[in-house]
């Protein structure tokens, strides 16, 4: 479809843009913004990961340095999980600033993940964040509109369009040529960003580019954005072709930008929150606790579930009191209590996240009319900074917490006497050797799951991925369609 004439028109569009000179200050400003965004991304990634891995190591050392003690004391001493940023978060911050970073892991209790960047923010964060991805998603479309709004409309105003068409050049060749020229310009802005990202990744700790997973993510990002920029360029040319004057084209394009990028996401997200209200923390905890009391609360001394459990254990071992059991009974009770409460909590948190997904669905649906939202979702998923990635951290942390509590309960069952210590006798303790036997918390990035990366594998993610491709096809199809319909004046 790129015949010689289209290529000629593209080249002519490119050189006339450069002749007008307007592109130089924009390019200069762009490089400045890219440099700043790259610096911020790098700085934030290295600083935070340093701080967090420092504390992860420090808390591990203090865990291992605990003296001999009762295992249940260790279960309460607990541990911490600090969320490490994915190297690609240098490119796309995603939801990073709005998700918690540190969680205290202890027995009996699922603590909240605290200290999100947003909680330290003075309100500035609400104006958005500058990241390389944000520049590509928000600012570059605006630049493409600036550079391309008059692509066809100006030719029409200056009556050169009639001349071109009368020379036997087809509408399709004009539209394809102009789109090609504009997309090439967009590429000029895009390539430095990709190169800078590549350099950041190559020099960063965490070595994401030593893995296939990292390369696949990087290439995925490259292709998705290239597609997004082609779509933006084609839409610009089409709107320019459909407008009587370049002023009209510009105003339309700016309205499109404002509507799709500033207004629509906020409105649909608000709508989602309105239609699917999520519980507050108080409500969530009250519901969880209520269910716990119904099923069996080990903190209630007269809980029917635990009374029945005691009776059945006693009859199985054919003893008359728990002191005669061959294992530590309170360890056994705590193991059962932990199992029940963790199960209830997981069920409730899953249902909460389903509610969040429902809230987000409105926004994801509108990707059909808004390619910006499609690229935003795809980009976050590929950069490991979307909600799925955060969920994954939470799940790993909770799994570790559960394992920690249950290991300590089992040590108690096995090694702690059933008889209360006599007066004057110190509290029971087990050897500190058990502490270092218990493994450290090591967060693992969720890997790409082919054919779709994690995050993209969620319904919202794969949906956005598909929508982006549909947009790509449609915009190219629209070129042919418009070429048949459009009028010279």
Q: Which of residues 426-445 bind another protein (CB under 8 A)?
A: 426-427
Report which of 441, 431, 435 is spatially closest to residue 65, judged by C-alpha positions.
435
Tell me the closest approach of the beta carbon of residue 207 to another protein, in angstroms. Answer: 23
Report which of 96, 85, 168 is spatially closest to residue 125, judged by C-alpha positions.
96
Q: Which is nearer to another protein, 269 or 407 (CB)?
A: 269
Question: Taking CB under 8 A as the rule, does residue 483 contact another protein?
Answer: no
Residues 6+ apart with CB under 8 A from 298: 306, 333, 334, 336, 337, 340
Using the rule CB under 8 A, which residue among 280, 318, 320, 417 binds another protein?
280
Window 282-321: residues binding another protein (CB under 8 A) = 282-286, 289, 293, 299-302
Cβ burial 305-343 (10 Å sphere, 16+ → b, else e): bbeebbeebbeeeeeeebeebebbbebbbbbbbbebbbe
Contact window for another protein (CB under 8 A) among 195-203, 224-232, 271-279, 446-454 = 271-279
Report which of 132, 136, 123, 140 is spatially closest to residue 44, judged by C-alpha positions.
132
Q: Which helix (H) or strand (E) holds 352?
A: helix 329-365
Using the rule CB under 8 A, which residue among 356, 434, 438, 443 binds another protein?
356
Q: Which is nearer to another protein, 58 or 442 (CB)?
A: 58
Question: Taking CB under 8 A as the rule, does residue 247 contact another protein?
Answer: yes
Question: Taking CB under 8 A as the rule, does residue 224 contact another protein?
Answer: no
Cβ neighbours, 10 Å, residue 114: 11
Contact window for another protein (CB under 8 A) among 72-80, 171-179, 194-202, 206-214 = 72-80
Contact window for another protein (CB under 8 A) among 6-14, 93-101, 392-400, 409-417 = 93-101
Task: Give the interface size with another protein as a residue count (CB under 8 A).
Answer: 102
- Answer for the pair 345, 262: CB distance below 8 angstroms, yes or no: no
Q: Which helix (H) or strand (E) holds 387?
A: helix 387-415
User: Longest C-alpha distance within the chain, in Å?
Assistant: 108
Can you tell me the distance from the alpha carbon of 428 to that of 412, in angstroms, rounded to the nearest whole number? Answer: 10
Can you tell me the distance from the alpha carbon of 394 to that of 454, in angstroms, rounded to the nearest whole number? Answer: 15
Cβ burial 62-94 (10 Å sphere, 16+ → b, else e): ebeeeeebbbbebbebbbbbbbbbbbbbbbbbb
Using the rule CB under 8 A, which residue among 53, 269, 406, 474 binds another protein?
269
Q: Is 29 helix (H, G, I), strand (E, B) or coil?
A: helix
Window 23-42: residues binding another protein (CB under 8 A) = 33, 36, 40
Question: Taking CB under 8 A as the rule, does residue 262 contact another protein?
Answer: yes
Using the rule CB under 8 A, which residue among 166, 423, 433, 484 binds another protein?
423
Q: Which residue has the tokens 């450290």?
A: 440
**Residues 163-202 vs another protein: string with x where CB under 8 A?**
----------------------------------------
Using the rule CB under 8 A, which residue among 166, 167, 168, 277 binds another protein?
277
Using the rule CB under 8 A, which residue among 184, 216, 278, 470 binds another protein?
278
Contact window for another protein (CB under 8 A) among 180-188, 225-233, 262-270, 478-486 = 262-270
Using the rule CB under 8 A, which residue among 60, 69, 108, 305 binds another protein?
69
């Amino acid at each position: 479809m790129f015949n010689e004439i289209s290529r000629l028109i593209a080249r002519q569009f490119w050189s006339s843009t450069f002749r007008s000179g307007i592109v130089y200050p924009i390019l200069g400003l762009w490089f400045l913004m890219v440099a700043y965004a790259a610096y911020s991304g790098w700085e934030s990634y290295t600083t935070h990961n340093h701080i967090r891995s420092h504390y992860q190591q420090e808390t591990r050392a203090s865990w291992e340095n605990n003296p001999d003690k009762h295992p249940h004391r260790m279960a309460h001493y607990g541990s911490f999980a600090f969320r490490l940023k994915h190297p690609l978060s240098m490119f796309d911050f995603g939801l990073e600033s709005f998700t918690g970073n540190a969680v205290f892991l202890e027995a009996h209790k699922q603590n909240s993940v605290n200290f999100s960047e947003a909680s330290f923010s003075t309100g500035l964060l609400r104006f958005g964040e500058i990241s390389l991805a944000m520049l590509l998603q928000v600012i570059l479309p605006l630049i493409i509109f600036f550079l391309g709004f008059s692509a066809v409309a100006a030719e029409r105003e200056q009556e050169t369009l009639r001349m071109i068409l009368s020379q036997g050049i087809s509408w399709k060749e004009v539209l394809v040529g102009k789109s090609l020229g504009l997309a090439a310009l967009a590429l000029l802005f895009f390539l430095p960003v990709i190169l800078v990202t590549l350099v950041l990744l190559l020099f960063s700790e965490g070595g994401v580019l030593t893995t296939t997973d990292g390369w696949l993510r990087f290439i995925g990002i490259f292709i998705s954005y290239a597609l997004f920029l082609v779509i933006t360029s084609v839409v610009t040319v089409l709107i320019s072709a459909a407008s009587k004057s370049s002023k009209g084209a510009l105003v339309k394009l700016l309205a499109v930008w404002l509507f799709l990028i500033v207004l629509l996401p906020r409105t649909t997200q608000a709508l989602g929150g309105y239609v699917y209200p999520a519980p507050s923390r108080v409500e969530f905890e009250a519901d969880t606790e209520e269910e716990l009391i119904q099923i069996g609360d080990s903190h209630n001394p007269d809980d029917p579930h635990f009374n029945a459990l005691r009776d059945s254990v006693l009859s199985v071992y054919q003893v008359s009191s728990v002191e005669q059991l061959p294992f530590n009974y309170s360890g056994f009770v705590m193991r059962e209590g932990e199992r029940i409460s963790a199960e209830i909590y997981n069920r409730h948190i899953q249902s909460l996240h389903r509610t969040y997904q429902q809230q987000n669905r409105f926004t994801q649906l509108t990707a059909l009319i808004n390619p910006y939202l499609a690229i935003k979702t795809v980009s976050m998923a590929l950069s490991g900074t979307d909600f799925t990635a955060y969920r994954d951290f939470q799940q790993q942390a909770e799994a570790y917490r559960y394992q920690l509590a249950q290991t300590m309960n089992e040590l108690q069952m096995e090694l702690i006497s059933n008889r209360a210590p006599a007066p004057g006798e110190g509290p029971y303790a087990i050897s500190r050797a058990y502490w270092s036997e218990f493994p450290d918390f090591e967060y693992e990035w969720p890997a790409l799951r082919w054919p779709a990366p994690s995050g993209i594998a969620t319904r919202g993610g794969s949906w956005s991925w598909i929508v982006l491709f549909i947009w790509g096809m449609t915009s190219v199809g629209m070129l042919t369609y418009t070429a048949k319909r459009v009028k010279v004046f």
